Structure 1
Amino acid sequence: MPDISPRGLTRLAFGGDYNPEQWPESVWQEDVRLMREAGVTMVSVGIFSWALLEPAPGEYDFGWLDRVIDLLHDHGIRVDLGTPTVVPPVWFYRAHPEALPVTAEGVRYEFGSRGAICHSNADYRAAAAAITTALAERYGDHPALAMWHVHNEYGVPVSACYCDSCAAHFRRWLADTYGTVDAVNEAWGTAFWGQRYTGFEQINPPRATPTVGNPGQALDYRRFADATVRENFRAERDLLHRLSPGVPVTTNFMTALSQCDSMDYWAWGREVDLVTNDHYLITDGRRTHVNLAMAADLTRSVAGGAPWLLLEHSTSGVNWQPRNPAKAPGEMARNSLAHVARGSEGAMFFQWRQSRRGAEKFHSAMLPHGGTDTRVWREVVELGASIDTLSALGGTRTEADVAMLWDWQSWWAQNLAWRPSEDHDPRERADSFYEALYDHHLTVDFAHPEADLSAYPLVVVPALYLMTQAAGDNLRRYAENGGTLVVSYFSGIVDEHDAVHEGACPGVLRDVLGLTVEEFSPLLKDERVRLTAPDGPALTGDVWSEFVVPRGAETVWTYADGLTAGRPAVTRHRTGRGTAWYVSTRLDAQGLDAVLARAAGDAGIAPRADLPRDVEVVRRSGTSGTYLFAVNHTAGDTEVPLDTPGTELLTGERAAGRLAVPAGAVRVVRLDG
């Protein structure tokens, strides 16, 4: 995708959501003064302002927004201007109550939150087009305008509606996708349980049924819902492109696998001019910085490797988890700069000034309730200076070592009802494989299963239950041409319609892995199996095991107990000039480390034993040079090796041989040459 930056923004983006409508106008002057003090370069405005901008149908009040945007412009602050289509006003819903979404159980939501939208509703689409047009006509050439921000976090909190309008729209989508109802019957396998249709008019959304419904229908409805939301984004985007040419259009994604599963971001990444993302730490006892790195790598990959922008994260605690701890001193800067290391063109927050009212009043902000005499404010000002110091690296790209395959549509299919084990979680496997690669100090690109993988010496497939024939052929070619492939269990099982591939499992991966699976043997809760090898450590698996039959593959680890005792557990297959590994159980961290170390050796990737655990070393490079980021997530001072000398940008010091990185700190070296 093209590398498109916010218009007129000559430095990295630093700022956040600005909601001046929550405050008396007398506060605005103080806001912009403090923004200048903090080094703010851009703010997002108007995202939730529809009711103020259009207080009655067709009656617009832009006076307050004129004054806000002009004030920001006068102080040199760029504007990311929102179309407020995530929050239609109450007058709209009173006139069009059918625009409120309906659940699969038939319950219609009420007004009073956000994102309560039936995206198939014609009245909503018309009203969204009208407010977007009015905004574009008024501000499309305003000198402060850096980019357009359409809607907000599509898919959150409502990703699908099941009303009658959606039913009619779904039928049209099916007719366009399949052509005939017979093709739908074939794709969904409606011969099973007597579900055959004779006309499109008989098909409804997958509403609540007495027992499990048709999985093909449920999967297609996920696709339909995603496509419908994307239609609405494209409608606003195209209006903005026409009325405000030359200004990039985006919408904020939520690529973290734990935060949004309803959008196919591979498809969405092709629709925006600049990929932007919102990321919030999930405080669940795990190493949150690993999930942060994973989300940043995934966002960069959705952007096709191009620079992207962190459009929201938090200065400290959030307010929507069961427990919302504050960030430790220095953690905000470390989190922010870790995103920059992995491709973000800055660090933006939700929000600028902490709210006194409403649902998010306990969510942290750049300017807290306590004002400027607070730790958070002092850290914000310090971070603003650091971000400004790093502006020269804008436009550079993060260098990756390996690839991990991920597909949102496979995730949708895997999470449907009645799979062999509810304990198998594809997101957990993706998290665990990523964490193992992270601990090997490897920077990861994510890739679609049908993407070109030739640039990567190692490709990991942690959980791809759904895999097309084209994807299977792609992995076979990759390995035959010299690549090293690692595949985890229950991958390659079904096609794009959730139909099991013909022949033995693992379907389209049989040939490249050199094996078949006679039978899945999921383990009971808390049951474990031991794996042994003649030349390797004993490993432990849980959740899953399989009856694996080698058909060219060699056995590296064997099941030592359980139903599959004596059978292969981890295999290695030489195919063409490459190698394909298969892991048929859920290994713990020690087991994944052992297998990936062997696979990395096959791929010619040297171990990084010289780097401490929880210290990231990531590179960005481009026409302005090569930049090495060292991010220390530990409580102790450390050093990392520096093959090329350079200048550390945050301190201005020269660095050579070994780079000192204090506890909890970040260092960025512009390498010589």
Structure 2
Amino acid sequence: MPETTPAGLTRLAFGGDYNPEQWPEEVWQEDVRLMREAGVTMVSVGIFSWALLEPAPGEYDFGWLDRVLDLLHANGIRVDLGTPTVVPPAWFYRAHPEALPVTAEGVRYAFGSRGAICHSNAGYRAAAARITTELAERYGAHPALAMWHVHNEYGVPVSACYCDSCAAHFRRWLTQTYGTVEAVNEAWGTAFWGQRYGNFEEIDPPRLTPTVGNPAQALDYRRFADATMRENFVAERDILHRLSPGVPVTTNFMTALSQCDSVDYWTWGREVDLVTNDHYLITDGRRTHVNLAMAADLTRSVAGGAPWLLLEHSTSGVNWQPRNPAKAPGQMARNSLAHVARGSEGALFFQWRQSRRGAEKFHSAMVPHGGTDTRVWREVVELGATLGTLSEIRGTRTEADAAMLWDWHSWWAQKLPWRPSEDHDARERADAFYEALYDRHLTVDFARPEADLSAYPLVVVPALYLMTRAAGANLRRYVEAGGTLVVSYFSGIVDEHDAVHEGPHPGALRDVLGLTVEEFSPLQEGERVRLTAPDGPELDGDVWTEFVVPRGAETVWTYADGLAAGRPAVTRHRLGEGTAWYVSTRLGTGGLDAVLDRAARDARIAPRAELPRDVEVVRRTGESGSYLFAINHTASDAKVPLEVPGTDVLTGEHAAGRLAVPAGAVRVVRLDG
């Protein structure tokens, strides 16, 4: 079995992307001196260096990389060594212009950025294998090597190419997936609009068409593009496993749902030795720490609950959003430790030294343009010391209270054209339900729709338009065995081929919810509806309503106005030992909290009202003990109740009763017993 932790790393990982090739060699000594001062334990090297390592076809220059790795090793710094296959050199594209990807509109991208790759291109695949082999043969046993880092952020910025090579590859993929063209016709429903195919050679990628094309074909092309990128990762990974045994191989994910939508990370999580993630705050006015927690929980879930590693985030502002504010004093540490609380085995940044040139020169770094006499540098040094103190938590696992179902294939299908309302956004519903759970101080695991859910008293399904019959049966078994399920509207509607389930909506979920939906009734922009209940608050919905018919479910809230006035809006179905709730409109924060309050009672989850809003409390547990992280994202001091006394790992102070957490601060308590 391959190793799943960075080789030779005995502390939490701390460091960042190190790009010494951007600087004169005399700067390198200063770099490693500052790394030691900051407590850096690992850096990522060589990710964008193909043109320097292979300046001409088959001609290699490893001298500078030899010196960098030797220098890092001499200073006790481990290396996450990249295969630089995200940016082939200019000479490669001169020889293989067909390796540049083509859009669905038929436009071929040009060289000059990053990630401009047709992943079906044979020339690219061969060149990537050669440079990976050269690196593995030279550095596979280097004493500084902690792990291998293949490529960079697959799917960003290009995942799908629509060229003729991809068309041929797509036909091969369809042959392997379906076997016969008749099976493709059935899966895609090509009887509609006369799209039937007589043989595989007639099938092309879903290129630009006069009006909407076949949605099932577009969905399968998303799957194909994802699988093609993964083929290339696996090819490099297998070379590294063969030539560098015992060293884990990873690639950096971007699980934040707002940052990458082209990769099925459930499948990718099974291919890497260690799940790693990049996360950057989206500063659009929302509570950024909630999205951070969601991304960390999702990454941990992709890792199967095992420890993972935050491989990139920012010390302060980024450079690619419309507005890029700096992080507030102390926010860097809070962000980093929030990832650690939710399972990361450290915190690394992009990048070590802020660039003077190039597209990311205004992206923050560990060593900013202002040098070491800056707030950012002082906070970097302080964070390095904190992570050094926390190294005893390595190997512990984060404890979750509830689960949320998520599926990338469903998200892809939901985003295809001609759905009932463009205002319905599956990611928005996931964000909203997650935020409601976060505000109830529940730590969330994400799960695949067909996963074993028996460990969770509460499971939330915010938006799963695509759901297999097997997933629906899985949820029924979960509820019958005593679980509590909460489902939002427009879930369970189609199967894996985007075909509507036979019979009334919501197809795969009819039985477990105890209802049918006669008709969707999306609302016009700005239109709202009221929901009333005999023993509950009045709620407010928008975007969506439905004509719901109970088939065993009880009505809890009723539409008070709109086309569905007088009909059920929120229902509860007792099934076996458990209950299943259904929400047929888009509820805001207050409405979601009201529904989840009732569902939490069904799940026997005690309310945690004594915890202040925006004060995270998360636990990690393992052989070394149980650790409570309390992270105060507010500007006011807070107190967190401790059911068990313990010792503050960061200060050594005894903690009992109520733990004081100053404004903006983090406390980590090793609990007794």
Q: 2:336 matched to 1:336? A: yes
- Specify the alignment match of 1:137 in structure 2: 137
Superposed displacement of residue 653, structure 1: 1.0
- The correspondence of residues 219-618 of structure 1 with structure 2, limited to 5 A, is 219-618=219-618
Q: Does the CA contact (< 8 Å) of 2:2 and 2:247 recur in 1? A: no
Task: Give the TM-score taking structure 1 as reference length.
Answer: 1.00
- Specify the alignment match of 2:665 in structure 1: 665
SS in 2 for 1:592: helix
CA distance in 2, matches of 1:191, 1:455: 44
Q: Does the CA contact (< 8 Å) of 1:3 and 1:306 recur in 2? A: no
SS in 2 for 1:643: coil
- The correspondence of residues 105-184 of structure 1 with structure 2, limited to 5 A, is 105-184=105-184
Superposed displacement of residue 649, structure 1: 1.1
Superposed displacement of residue 402, structure 1: 0.2
The structure-2 alpha-carbon separation of the partners of 1:337 and 1:264, relative to structure 1 and needing over 3 Å to count, comes to same
Q: 2:201 matched to 1:215? A: no
- Specify the alignment match of 2:75 in structure 1: 75
CA distance in 2, matches of 1:195, 1:656: 69
CA distance in 2, matches of 1:662, 1:147: 37
Residue deviations 1:433-485, cap 9 Å, x none? 00000000000000000000000000000000000011001000000010000
Q: Which amino acid aligns with 1:51?
A: A
CA distance in 2, matches of 1:374, 1:614: 28
SS in 1 for 2:501: coil
Q: 2:65 matched to 1:65? A: yes
Q: Which amino acid aligns with 1:264?
A: D
SS in 1 for 2:644: strand
Residue deviations 1:112-170, cap 9 Å, x none? 00000000000000000000000000000001000000000000000100000000000
Q: Does the CA contact (< 8 Å) of 1:338 and 1:631 recur in 2? A: yes
SS in 2 for 1:116: coil
Q: Give unpaired runs (5+ residues) of structure 1.
A: none
Residue deviations 1:398-435, cap 9 Å, x none? 00000000000000000000000000000000000000
CA distance in 2, matches of 1:571, 1:389: 49
The structure-2 alpha-carbon separation of the partners of 1:2 and 1:62, relative to structure 1 and needing over 3 Å to count, comes to closer
CA distance in 2, matches of 1:646, 1:241: 43
Q: Which amino acid aligns with 2:253?
A: F
- The correspondence of residues 14-33 of structure 1 with structure 2, limited to 5 A, is 14-33=14-33
Q: Does the CA contact (< 8 Å) of 1:317 and 1:364 recur in 2? A: yes
CA distance in 2, matches of 1:355, 1:230: 31
CA distance in 1, matches of 2:99, 2:479: 50
SS in 2 for 1:492: coil
The structure-2 alpha-carbon separation of the partners of 1:3 and 1:67, relative to structure 1 and needing over 3 Å to count, comes to closer
- The correspondence of residues 197-208 of structure 1 with structure 2, limited to 5 A, is 197-208=197-208
Q: Does the CA contact (< 8 Å) of 2:3 and 2:246 recur in 1? A: no
CA distance in 2, matches of 1:318, 1:384: 21
Q: Does the CA contact (< 8 Å) of 1:402 and 1:443 recur in 2? A: yes
Q: 2:635 matched to 1:643? A: no
Q: Which amino acid aligns with 1:533?
A: A
Superposed displacement of residue 3, structure 1: 7.6
Q: Does the CA contact (< 8 Å) of 2:490 and 2:506 recur in 1? A: yes
Task: Give the TM-score taking structure 2 as reference length.
Answer: 1.00
CA distance in 2, matches of 1:653, 1:403: 34
SS in 2 for 1:579: strand
CA distance in 1, matches of 2:217, 2:319: 36
CA distance in 2, matches of 1:141, 1:553: 63
CA distance in 2, matches of 1:643, 1:457: 21
CA distance in 1, matches of 2:103, 2:308: 34
CA distance in 2, matches of 1:76, 1:646: 33
SS in 2 for 1:133: helix
SS in 2 for 1:556: strand
The structure-2 alpha-carbon separation of the partners of 1:397 and 1:3, relative to structure 1 and needing over 3 Å to count, comes to farther
Q: Does the CA contact (< 8 Å) of 2:2 and 2:246 recur in 1? A: no
Q: Which amino acid aligns with 2:462?
A: P
The structure-2 alpha-carbon separation of the partners of 1:634 and 1:423, relative to structure 1 and needing over 3 Å to count, comes to same
Identity within the alignment, %: 88
Count residues with an aligned counterpart. 673
Q: Which amino acid aligns with 2:653?
A: E
CA distance in 1, matches of 2:3, 2:468: 30
Q: Does the CA contact (< 8 Å) of 1:454 and 1:483 recur in 2? A: yes
CA distance in 2, matches of 1:3, 1:235: 18
CA distance in 2, matches of 1:476, 1:223: 28
Superposed displacement of residue 650, structure 1: 1.3
Residue deviations 1:528-548, cap 9 Å, x none? 000000000000000000000
CA distance in 2, matches of 1:591, 1:658: 31
CA distance in 1, matches of 2:558, 2:2: 48
Q: Does the CA contact (< 8 Å) of 1:619 and 1:628 recur in 2? A: yes
Q: Does the CA contact (< 8 Å) of 2:16 and 2:43 recur in 1? A: yes
Superposed displacement of residue 651, structure 1: 1.4
CA distance in 2, matches of 1:609, 1:263: 37
Q: Give unpaired runs (5+ residues) of structure 2.
A: none
CA distance in 2, matches of 1:656, 1:166: 62
Q: Which amino acid aligns with 2:109?
A: Y
Superposed displacement of residue 2, structure 1: 8.4
SS in 2 for 1:270: coil
Q: Which amino acid aligns with 2:640?
A: V
Aligned Cα root-mean-square deviation (Å): 0.7
- The correspondence of residues 29-48 of structure 1 with structure 2, limited to 5 A, is 29-48=29-48
SS in 1 for 2:165: helix
Q: Does the CA contact (< 8 Å) of 1:3 and 1:307 recur in 2? A: no
